[in-house]
């Protein structure tokens, strides 16, 4: 296990590469989903003929 995390001595490069990649993708998913949900909510409100 320790050997796995050590990445043959390149842990300082391999793990940040994976960390940045998946953090970046997760943020993109989060932001995309948030603005989509917001637009859907506003649409629902307007279609109901809300007085916003």
How far is 48 from 40, CA to CA, in rounded Å? 12
Residue 33 binding another protein, by CB under 8 A: yes
Residue 30 binding another protein, by CB under 8 A: no
How far is 23 from 10, CA to CA, in rounded Å? 20
How far is 27 from 34, CA to CA, in rounded Å? 10
Residue 26 binding another protein, by CB under 8 A: no
- Quick check: 32 and 39 in contact, CB under 8 A? no
Residue 39 binding another protein, by CB under 8 A: yes
Q: Which residues bind another protein (CB under 8 A)?
A: 4, 7-10, 13-14, 16-18, 20-21, 24-25, 28-29, 32-33, 35-36, 39-40, 42-43, 46-47
């Amino acid at each position: 296990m320790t050997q796995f995390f050590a990445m043959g001595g390149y842990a300082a490069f391999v793990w940040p590469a994976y960390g940045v990649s998946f953090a970046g993708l997760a943020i993109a998913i989060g932001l995309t989903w948030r603005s989509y949900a917001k637009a859907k909510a506003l649409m629902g409100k307007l279609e109901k003929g809300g007085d916003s």
